Structure 1
């Protein structure tokens, strides 16, 4: 096995010596750079999924919605008779109440955040495919 390797090594050396070295042309580097220059990477411009106007519209709708809920309550609640104060230890006698308006706003905010995350995920996957 070693003898075969030595023969192969000797044969390779002879072939390389016979072929000799070739020198590139004088303007080789300039030619290569001229070919590379037109292939600049395209810059991706950041474009938000929801524009400033969209966020303004969403926030104004939330404000109007919360105003309407606080001023014109119909007297019923989606949450029913849930009392969040029962979750705390009675030892300290901590009681508080959360207005229904804030609960509604929090739920809708959570829905908007989930939608935004899904849209960002789709946009990110789409940009990875390109």
Structure 2
């Protein structure tokens, strides 16, 4: 068995010596780099989940919903005796009185939405970098 391995080793050495070493051309590296540079890398195109028109529709629906909830009373309510129209606008009164808790809710909602948008934008920017 060991003698077969020696013969096989000698045969492979002879084959490699006969073949010799092949040396690349002088501009081999430049040719390879030129080929690599011409390969096109697919670009990641940023496409938002919700378009600007979608955000406008969502905002408009939110404003309409808020107005309807605070302005009109339907005669029945899932909240029982609460009169939703008295939260923001008194009926037949032109003056708008917004309760402090209502204002705080909208303020903190806005702050949290802005923070989340910034964090999501940073995450997407990091993921879309090449």
In the alignment, does 2:43 pair up with 1:35? no
Which residues of 2 match residues 28-107 of structure 1 at below 5 A?
Answer: 28-74=28-74, 75-77=76-78
Alpha-carbon separation, structure 2, partners of 1:70 and 1:7: 97
Query: Equivalents in 2 of 1:35, 1:26: separation in Å?
Result: 16
**2:6 counterpart residue number:** 6
**Structure 1 position 41, deviation (Å):** 0.6
Distance 2:11 2:28 in 1: 31
Structure 1: segments with no counterpart, 5+ residues = 82-130
Q: How does 1:20-31 map to 2 (within 5 A)?
A: 20-31=20-31
3-state SS of paired residue (1:37): helix
Q: CA RMSD in A?
A: 2.4
Q: Tell me, which stretches of 5 or more residues in structure 2 are unaligned? A: 81-130
Q: C-alpha deviations, 1:44-91, integer Å up to 9, x for none? A: 1211021233212202211211220222132133xx87xxxxxxxxxx
**TM-score, with structure 2 as normaliser:** 0.51
Write the distance in 2 (CA, Å) between the matches of 1:44 and 1:69: 43
Equivalenced residues, count: 80
More relative contact order in 1 or in 2 (CA 8 Å, sep 6+)? 1
Whole-Å separation in 1 of the counterparts to 2:67 and 2:3 = 92
